Amino acid sequence: MSINDFMTMRHELILAALVLLVLIIDMNLKKSQKQLIIPISLSLFFIHTVVGFLPAQTGVLFGGMYHTDALTLLMKNILNVGVFIVLLQSTTWLKHSDNGDKISEFYILLWSTLIGMNFMISSGDFLMLYLGLELATIPMAALAAYTHHQTRSAEAGIKLILSSALSSGILLFGLSMIYGTTGSIYFDTIGAVYSNAPLQVLAFIFFFTGMAFKISLVPFHLWTADVYEGSPVNVTSYFSVISKGASVFILIMVMYTVFHSIAYLWKDIAYLIAVMTMTIGNLFALRQKNMKRFLAFSSIAQAGFILLGIMGGNKIGMTATIYFVLVYIFSNLGAFGVVSAISAKTGKESMDDYDGLYSTNPMLTLLMMLSVFSLAGIPPLAGFFGKFFLFTSAASGGYYWLVFIAVLNATISLYYYLLVVKAMFINKNETPIAFFKSDNLTRAGLLICTLGIFILGFWSQIYEFINSVSFAIVN
């Protein structure tokens, strides 16, 4: 293995170097200078994001355990952009005096999870997949418990680590059965010999259960709302977009390459789970009053829509799924950006507090409206095209009834998204949230989201590029 081979895993290596660099810089700063970490980390990560887009070499490392190609590079770049927006949005909150001496921890933990996700996306066997999954999960629990003097944050952390440990235990039991029946842990070898033998079907169900926990599909969603509500807002936005997006990416790749021979079977399972996830996520979102909890249930419902793309099983399906995740990153981060800007300035997170927001903070209100409209799928915003392609792929797979149910659910979701808009524009409030100015970094984060929401839907080159690198179920 030469130095040139190492450049294949450039994304992960640069991130690991950044983690160490921030750690070393933090050790050399005095307590009063700790805030310097924020601009340093932001610029370092910006360089990493830009470097990620440079042409990279592709190939296979570690005897097939690790591989990169145009598709995995695209997925990593999508995640990088999302993480950069999250970092921009989190600056105001990080500057609070409570976080004084642990600013660097936020960046280190967050980037560690991102390394895990990158390894997970690039994995060529189940060992690397499991390693990446755990590297993406364990620091995440520490992030959820970041504000350790708050009882809610600690509770969110313990709920996240226990439920994710249980889910990876279940996933591993499935993997052990896969190993027992096929004698290999490599995706290619397993995919070639996998059949519908009872033990292998059982193994698949265990595996799918473990992954469904991570994407928070119903009935494995119960941890989601609590963890989202208890964690700091910016950590919540990271959970709901980046971590969910990475899990969706790896799930679709494994389903299409490893379990392609039992596709007829997992499509039935996914059908049921998609219907349950969309319906239950929507019905629970209707009655939420806390904005974080509300967005948590809306993100559960969105995960149900994503399953439609996975079920398509063809090239359009994979393209639609990746495209939807990209659009979802911008729309959801727009909504979370507003919630976090308001939460960092005033500490208010309830939907009732948003009453009459338009009279005091019109720009934030407009952005919030755009984001929720994009999440609901109203044309001409990007969210509409995302949902449209998902429905197209499911329809091309012949699932007309599922598309019908999904359209009904999209209508229900419009109702509760409009509740937020109604609160901000129509509801009267004696004491609305006072006018405040966000700092430039937060504004930049919100601006990127707005541009994404507007441009992505019309910039067809993006869709075509995703289409050119994605693949259908191998037969």
Partner 1 sequence: MTGTIPLQSFLVISTLMFFIGIYGFLTRKNLITMLMSIELILNSVNINFVAFNKYLYPQNLQGHFFTLIIIAIAAAEAAVAIAIIINIYRNFRSIDVDNVDELKF
| Cβ neighbours around 158 below 10 Å, total | 14
| Number of residues in contact with partner 1 under rule CB under 8 A | 44
Question: Nearest distance from residue 108's CB to partner 1, in Å?
Answer: 14
Please, which of residues 144-203 interact with partner 1 by CB under 8 A? 145, 148-152, 154-159, 161-162, 165-166, 169-170, 172-173, 175-177, 179-180, 183-185
Using the minimum distance from each CB to partner 1, give the nearer residue, 213 or 391: 213
- Contact with partner 1 (CB under 8 A) among 105, 229, 349, 355: 229
Question: Nearest distance from residue 153's CB to partner 1, in Å?
Answer: 9
Binding mask 290-309 for partner 1 (x = CB under 8 A): ---x----------------
Q: Nearest-CA neighbor of 224 among 208, 213, 211?
A: 213
Using the minimum distance from each CB to partner 1, give the nearer residue, 157 or 445: 157
Question: Nearest distance from residue 102's CB to partner 1, in Å?
Answer: 13
Separation CA 103–CA 95 (nearest Å):
8
Using the minimum distance from each CB to partner 1, give the nearer residue, 180 or 398: 180
Pairing relationship of beta strands 66-68 and 59-61 according to DSSP bridges: antiparallel
DSSP string, 140-170: HHHHHT-STTSHHHHHHHHHHHHHHHHHHHH
- Contact with partner 1 (CB under 8 A) among 74, 142, 310, 376: 142
Using the minimum distance from each CB to partner 1, give the nearer residue, 11 or 221: 221
CB 165 within 8 A of CB 217: no
The values of phi and psi at residue 60, to 5°, are -120, 135
Question: Both ends of the chain: CA-CA distance in Å?
Answer: 33
Using the minimum distance from each CB to partner 1, give the nearer residue, 125 or 355: 125
Question: Nearest distance from residue 178's CB to partner 1, in Å?
Answer: 10
Sign of CA dihedral 225, 227, 229, 234: negative
284 contributes a contact to partner 1 by CB under 8 A: yes
Non-local (6+) Cβ contacts of 411 within 8 A are: none
Angle between helices 362-376 and 382-396 (to 10 degrees): 10
Alpha-helical regions (H) of 347-469: 357-360, 362-376, 382-396, 400-425, 440-455, 460-469
Cis amide leading into 380 (omega within 30): yes
Question: Nearest distance from residue 123's CB to partner 1, in Å?
Answer: 13
Please, which of residues 111-140 interact with partner 1 by CB under 8 A? 126-127, 130-131, 134, 138-139
230 contributes a contact to partner 1 by CB under 8 A: yes
Q: Nearest-CA neighbor of 383 among 470, 292, 305?
A: 305
Question: Nearest distance from residue 281's CB to partner 1, in Å?
Answer: 13
Question: Nearest distance from residue 61's CB to partner 1, in Å?
Answer: 16
Question: Nearest distance from residue 232's CB to partner 1, in Å?
Answer: 14
Contacting positions for partner 1 (CB under 8 A): 126-127, 130-131, 134, 138-139, 141-142, 145, 148-152, 154-159, 161-162, 165-166, 169-170, 172-173, 175-177, 179-180, 183-185, 225-226, 229-230, 284, 288, 293
